[in-house]
Amino acid sequence: MTVLVFGAGGAQGGAVARRLVEEGLAVRGVSRTGAVPEGVEPVRADLGDRGRLREAFAGVTRVSMVLPLEYDPGRVAAYTRNVLAEAAAAGVARLVFNPGNRLPRADTGAAAFDTRRAAARAVLDSPVPAVVLCPPIYLENLAAPWVRRGLAGEGVLRYPVPASVPVAWLSHADLAAATLAALTGDDLAGATLDLGGEPMTGPELAAAFGARYKAVDVEVFAAGMAAALGPDVAAGVAGTYRWVAGPGRELYAASPGGAKRLGIEVTSPADWAAGQAWRWQR
């Protein structure tokens, strides 16, 4: 079995690729620069380049798909079309799509949600047997410099989610375990599964780090993110947090049924925090 992993040089695709290599699978990793984890066969391809993608798909039977930090609807639709066309042509037996977020039931006006809703629909409508795995917010976001500074330095977790909104936080390692299970498990084709552990509020999450919680204004948070990732990505991400602070407050609270169906144990935030060298230590 050869698994093609998109975004293999990135945060989520990299975690998936490493886990599949650990399992002894043949893993080919797509990125534009060719940067992939050790043990992964690198393929330089742009999601916009059908010809390069066709070469990447040669001999591939399974696919782990995640879209990059791109929220332009036309570009995301083209990337998705290209991957699905080449996956169908290659006769892929299972494609696991990670939209990078939970999926609201209807369009929200936030491109980072709406482009992924459209992509998930295209994936499930395609002839390729597919599973959609929807993560909530990643614990790794807390390690971003603009969050970690307050958490590790002052014991204050500043995040743009209102204190009362419950979130079923997930680690990249658990995403990788879920992806492995979805790539190989029976009776999953056509399923859309929400991933995550026990939902908790901001103050409960902060307590897992021995810290205090302070909900921050989305615009302040986006400014910190813009410095590192650019204004377009920051604006896209800010749109999701704005929606979650309003009509979407239950989006990340769904019960952890997806993990159960895949047979994976979700790491608690406290256990995850204990493994971080930078964590707040009183």
Ligand X SMILES: NC(=O)c1ccc[n+]([C@@H]2O[C@H](COP(=O)([O-])OP(=O)(O)OC[C@H]3O[C@@H](n4cnc5c(N)ncnc54)[C@H](OP(=O)(O)O)[C@@H]3O)[C@@H](O)[C@H]2O)c1
Site of interaction with ligand X (CB under 6 A): 7-13, 30-33, 35, 46-48, 66-69, 100-101, 112, 135, 137-138, 141
Smaller CB separation from ligand X, 10 or 248: 10
Smallest distance, ligand X to C-beta of residue 43, A: 10
Residue 45: CB minimum distance to ligand X, A: 6
Task: Name the residue nearer to ligand X (CB basis): 49 or 204.
Answer: 49
The DSSP H or E segment spanning 240 is helix 231-244
Amino acid identity of residue 263, one-letter, is: G
Residue 60 is encoded by which pair of tokens? 């591939």
Residue 178 is given by DSSP the state: H
Beta-carbon count within 10 A of 146 CB: 19
Closest alpha carbon to 111 in 260, 264, 235: 235
186 vs 250, beta carbon nearer ligand X: 250
Burial of 35 (0-12, 13-18, 19+ CB in 10 A): middle
Report in angstroms how near the CB of residue 185 gets to ligand X at its nearest: 22
Residue closest to ligand X when measured from CB atoms:
10
Q: For residue 275, list its beta bridge partners.
A: none
Closest approach, Cβ 6 to ligand X, in A, equals 7
Give whichever of 9 and 197 is closer to ligand X, judged by the CB atom: 9
Taking the complex as a whole, the smallest distance from the CB of residue 240 to ligand X amounts, in Å, to 8
For ligand X, the closer of residues 10 and 150 by Cβ is 10
Identify which of residues 7 and 269 has a Cβ nearer to ligand X in the complex: 7
We find the least distance from the C-beta atom of residue 186 to ligand X, in angstroms, to be 27
Residue 191 CB, nearest approach to ligand X (Å): 19
- Residue 48: name the closest of 86, 14, 15 by CA: 86
What own/partner pairs with CB < 8 Å and gap ≥ 24 does 186-190 have?
A: 188/94, 188/131, 188/261, 188/262, 189/94, 189/129, 189/130, 189/131, 190/124, 190/129, 190/130, 190/131
3-state secondary structure of 96: strand
Q: Which is nearer to ligand X, 76 or 128 (CB)?
A: 76
Distance in angstroms (rounded) separating the CA atoms of residues 104 and 112: 11
